[in-house]
Structure 1
Amino acid sequence: MQQVNIIKKLIAALLIISIALPSCDLDRLPLNGPSTETFPASEKEATMGLFAAYQSISQLDAASTPMWHVMDNITDIGYARPGNNYTSPITSALTTDNALAVKPWQVHYKTIARCHAVLDKLPGLKNEISETVYNQLDAELRFIRAYCYSQLIELYGAVPLITQAVGLGNSNVERTPKAAIEQFILDELTEIAERLPVSQGTYGNVRASKVAAYMLKARVALYSKNTR
């Protein structure tokens, strides 16, 4: 009987807690880091978002291999072609469920999403940071996005062209013709190139520069046979 009473009391306590909690005005924002609700809320957070996009674009795959190295291994550039995933593309029998067919799509759209996490809210910080810093953050993020699209159209042709964050309820985005995306990339690089420094030696030249923007533009124009 005593055990039954204890169980009843526990149930009653749980019911009270479940009723009381929704009425509590809880502070859900973390006190020691950025929040998804307000990010980016400062120049520092915007820079963190930029670095996250760079990290995403250089994501390591199997055996701690960068994505572009993985892709090289199915061409004459690569000397090592280990594993079953490399066999089908080398023998022109690539299937849609092969990791090499799926992962580049995932990596590049994840990177694009990280760019939009900052780009969409960056205008709200315009009055809080210098014009030079603002323009460079905007240009670097758009460079990364342009690079991702250049890789996607080389691998898949027509792909969804997303220029701002897409919610889960609107994830069915139609593909845009390859030629239209090529033009989008060229226009973007033309607009942002002059906002970037000639080089970024302070960061080991691993961040986007004016030279990199013009080189990527030349590559896309060459592949699209655009001589303008």
Structure 2
Amino acid sequence: MNIYLKIMYIAIIISLLQSCQRLDLKPDSSISNDSYWSNEADAESALNGLYLRMRNSFTVHNWMYWFECRTGNISGGLQAGGIQSFINNELTANLNDANWQPFYTVISVANGIIHNVDRINFTQEARKKQIKAQAYFVRAWCYYNLVRLWGEVPIVTQFIDSDDHEQLFPLRSNEDEVFQLIKADIGLADQLSMGDNTAKSSKASRAAILMLKTDIYLWLAKVRGEQAEALSIADQAIDEVLANTTYKLSANYRDVFTQETNPEIIYSIYYDLLENSNQYGSLLAQSRSLVPLAYQNNPIPVGANHVMQFSDLFYTKYRNRTAGDSRAETISQDMQISGTNFRWTNKFMGEMNGNVRVFTSDTRIYRFAEAYLFKAEILAEQGQFTAALKYINMVVKRAYGTDQFYTSVSDKKELETILLDERIIEFAGECKSWFDMIRLGQVFQRVPSLAGREQDKQGNILYFPVHVNSFAVNPNIKQTPGFE
């Protein structure tokens, strides 16, 4: 069976198992060890299957609801959608998009690779290491998002191939235990990827692994209180990324979102017309049913629906903050037609397939601009304010057209305010802002619906509740305090 047929075979099995899935944490694919894991082609198809699951498990709404909509920077669009609970930070256990299942769907495939790939003899041992490194990267990415969204979460690390496996009904583990697993996984990914110069953005290259490692250890330093040691690890990781000559800042901000092979992109999730053409940018276009025909895709990009847009708050505080910001028109545009204001983004707008827009833009997870801003954040934490401003200025030069837009700051608080402002603008709509606000300690000050609510939900207001489906399929799961 050639590699393409095997990928199709995995997809069919996944689809069949999903249709009859009974257990929240049961893997999508229980491919028999005896019949499947026998040669390199099996491992390669399993790896491609992992990226397929990473793309297809998360709906278009998941990305925005999890990472953007709670910030106050997103509002409802011209057509009603299920966004308001997220905007108001009034989450309940029955919200469809407050379900952790998509992460465990991906984790189960990563576990299968990690558990089985060593059974295969490779002609080049380096390739086996690359495959394992990518599986550890994906699992670390999943658990890193899980623990930040839900706090205590179940840990499943074994390849579950039966209905009576010991890890099938796990308890929620405390955050310390989850972060220990995350550190172990990203550490193994780092170790296994040493010397790997692969730079394909749709796969986890060494640079992508180091970006995630920096991200994790910055969180550990600033949110989890691990301070100097974690900061040192983050600094070492990001310095290697910055030294990698494969990547560079694009001269034009819009090119980053219209060129899928732009050298600024370190890691992205791949979309394609023949595979999946429903990237979340469709939520930030306009509804085909609302835009007059003469303006559809000329200039207003239209999709099937429109349930969200950048808020007036975002315009006031960020998009329109600095006159002449060259990023503004890429981030969003407005057009008045017969008394109706149509607002859309020019990021992630895909391509035209005949007279229909298809949303095939790759989801940018890490790009080189963030490497500079990660370095600035580390330097700020170390008290090196002038050096931190240098890295911020490297990013904003293309926005403001000057080498030294920021010349001085008086203290760390002012520097972190600048840094957060620029991150929110630079990565607008890229699903960064929610965690940025938390990591930089300003979420309760920046988000109107969170003002004065630090103790709401027994102090768990920043987390999602556990979805009701999880209790039905796993009796060992308990609700987060404050959401009972």
TM class by shorter chain equals 0.7 to 0.9
User: Shift in Å at residue 67 of structure 1?
Assistant: 3.9
What does residue 125 of structure 2 align with? 131
Q: CA deviation at 1:162?
A: 1.3
Deviations 1:131-155 (A, max 9, x none): 1011111111111011000011011
Aligned counterpart in structure 2 of residue 71 of structure 1, from 66, 70, 73: 66
Moved more, 110-119 or 160-169: 160-169
Question: In the alignment, is the contact (CA less than 8 A) between 1:40 and 1:46 conserved in 2?
Answer: yes
Distance 1:77 1:206, change over 3 A: farther
Q: Secondary structure at the match of 1:135?
A: helix
Instruction: Check if 1:110 corresponds to 2:102.
Output: no
- Contact conserved, 2:54 with 2:106, CA < 8 A, in 1? yes
Could you tell me whether the CA contact under 8 Å between 2:50 and 2:106 is conserved in 1? yes
**In 1: Cα distance, 2:113 partner to 2:107 partner:** 10
1:168 matches 2:163: yes
Higher strand share: 2
Aligned length: 190
Equivalent AA in structure 1 for residue 37 of structure 2: P
Unaligned runs of 5+ in 1: 1-31
Cα distance, 1:78 vs. partner?
A: 6.1
Q: Determine if contact 1:159/1:177 at 8 Å carries over to the other structure.
A: yes
Structure 2 unaligned spans of 5+: 11-30, 230-484
Tell me the distance in 1 between the aligned counterparts of 2:171 and 2:146: 15
1:139 maps to a residue whose letter is A
Q: Secondary structure at the match of 2:41?
A: helix
**Residues 57 and 105 of structure 2 are in contact (CA less than 8 Å); yes or no, is this contact kept in structure 1?**
no
| Structure-1 separation of matches of 2:63 and 2:197 | 22
Q: Which has the higher helix share?
A: 1
In the other structure, the counterpart of 2:452 is none
Q: In the alignment, residue 186 of structure 1 is paired with which amino acid?
A: K
Please tell me whether residue 98 in structure 1 is matched to residue 98 in structure 2: no
Cα distance between partner residues in 1 of 2:73 and 2:40: 40
Q: 1:194, 1:81 → 2: CA distance?
A: 44
Q: Which has the higher contact order (CA 8 A, sep 6+)?
A: 2
TM-score, structure 2 normalization: 0.36
Distance 1:180 1:57 in 2: 24
For 2:107 and 2:175, the matched residues in 1 are separated by 17
TM-score (norm 1): 0.73
3-state secondary structure, aligned to 1:168: coil
Native 8 Å contact 2:66 2:149 kept in 1: no
Asked if the contact 2:71/2:87 (under 8 Å) is kept, the reply is no
8 Å CA contact 2:122–2:128 kept in 1: the answer is no
The residue number in structure 2 matching 1:210 is 206
CA offsets per residue over residues 134-188 of structure 1, 9 Å max, x none?
1111111111011000011011111111111233224211121111211221222
Task: Report if the CA contact (8 A) 1:143-1:189 is conserved.
Answer: yes
Q: Within 1, Cα distance between the matches of 2:198 and 2:186?
A: 17
Specify the alignment match of 1:200 in structure 2: 198
Output aligned runs, 1:1-228, within 5 Å.
33=6, 36-37=31-32, 38-59=35-56, 65=60, 67-76=62-71, 79=74, 81=76, 83-102=80-99, 105-125=100-120, 127-166=121-160, 167-170=162-165, 171-196=168-193, 200-201=198-199, 203=200, 205-225=201-221, 226-227=226-227, 228=229
Contact 1:115-1:145 at 8 Å conserved across structures: yes
Deviates more, 1:217-226 or 1:116-125: 217-226
